[in-house]
Amino acid sequence: MPFSTDGVYTIRNIGRALMLDLKGDSTAEGNQIQGYADNGTEAQKWVIKKQEEPRNSENTFTIQTSNTGNNGNGFFAAAKQDADEPVVYTRQAFLVDLVPGVNDIYSIKFTLGSKNLVLSIPSDEDSAVRLANFNAADAYQQWALIRVGDLQSVGN
């Protein structure tokens, strides 16, 4: 089922049971995005908004931090659109496709560069979030979106 409800979410990796997290809760440009144990902080809350422009697919969204502090409410991106590229915090808006899987689990597919790249925590040894070539069977590339609030609850 396509994802359809704008709001504030936590984003949990299925393979590692880690939350998408701003490392050190820092909104400094280029800060690493990581997987981290659920701790309920703003570093793990993300605003998901559907993008309605005609050129976008029904699955196209922006995902930005709910952190409204200094330089907050930014997005995540990768410097190069290549497999194994680290994902970092940035102020530049970035579009992703939320590709539905089974049981309300999604792949977060990048819309620039290779159409085969998705968000992943690629190994048990490293919690850095990276781009990876899409593999529908890889749990490290699958994400649960857990609603924790509505858009009025953040300073957007």
- pLDDT tens-place string over residues 59-118: 888 899 988 777 778 898 887 878 899 999 998 888 899 999 988 899 999 887 777 999
Written as six digits, the tokens of 79 are 């410097």
pTM score: 0.91
134 compared with 72, residue with greater pLDDT: 134
Supply the range of the domain harboring residue 131: 7-153
Q: Is residue 1 part of a domain?
A: no
Q: Is residue 95 part of a domain?
A: yes
**Separation CA 129–CA 100 (nearest Å):** 20
Extended strands (E) in the chain: 7-13, 19-22, 33-36, 46-50, 60-65, 75-77, 88-90, 95-100, 105-110, 117-120, 130-133, 143-149
Amino acid identity of residue 17, one-letter, is A
CB 156 within 8 A of CB 67: no
Q: Is residue 65 part of a domain?
A: yes
The CATH number of the domain where 33 resides is what?
Answer: 2.80.10.50
The total of structural domains in the chain comes to 1
